[in-house]
Structure 1
């Protein structure tokens, strides 16, 4: 495992619109945070576009092909923590194509999306930069992700 589930981790998404800081929930979602941190530190997300942006819902990224169908070449099981909910803006969660199909794609919510609870693994929350999240348009890019912790 790349991370220590007992440690605190923060991710800074450096985008062409500005920076987004996210507190990662390593204790409640260690496998999911580990996957994200591993990919980020390997540069996997560098230059990747926000390929799906839906107003008053979410912004989605993490697919290097930009089609919404790409990923790292593997999938892993859902890691649903009951205490982590899609309960407001700024929730970081895994995008998937159904149960246990997590890979590299993730989204950040604009609003509460309770219908996603139990279906998508929440693994962080925006602590700074919601104005940047709200300004992101389809085609904007992640320049890099810096992980502290």
Structure 2
């Protein structure tokens, strides 16, 4: 079983406070199975949101570190928990240990702890 993103996710601009949204069209064995819609909190996490959007569109080209296309297109879900969640986005290794941000390598994750 393999889940794949189909095509480039497209940016749409609906939602609360004009927060950007994008989506993945998901396939299982090359058959469409649904769409996952993401609303990005660009007002709260601007750097993370920009990274995610750019990886959705592929507009930043090739990564400086990995030499791979900076894009989720064609990447797989490396972890699927039925009726709960999926994890994906590792377009370099395909197992959750790889990846690269549009900023080169990794960047510090946001902390909401006060």
Report TM bin, short chain. 0.5 to 0.7
Structure 2: how far apart are the matches of 1:80 and 1:31?
13
- Secondary structure of the residue aligned to 2:77 is coil
1:51 paired to 2:78: yes
Alignment of 1:1-149 (within 5 A): 7-16=18-27, 17-42=33-58, 44-55=71-82, 57-64=84-91, 65-72=93-100, 74-81=105-112
Structure 2: which 5+ residue stretches go unaligned?
1-16, 28-32, 59-69
Partners of 1:29 and 1:80 within 8 A in 2: no
What whole-Å deviation, never above 9, does each CA across 1:53-72 have from its counterpart, x for those lacking one?
12454210001222222111
Q: Which residue of 1 aligns with 2:14?
A: none
Structure 2: how far apart are the matches of 1:18 and 1:63?
20
TM-score (norm 1): 0.46
Partners of 1:51 and 1:67 within 8 A in 2: yes
Aligned Cα root-mean-square deviation (Å)? 2.3
What whole-Å deviation, never above 9, does each CA across 1:16-44 have from its counterpart, x for those lacking one?
12111121111111111011011111161
Q: Greater CA radius of gyration, 1 or 2? A: 2
Structure 1: how far apart are the matches of 2:111 and 2:24?
23
Greater RCO, CA 8 A, separation 6+: 1
- Figure out how many residues of one structure are paired with residues of the other and give that number: 78
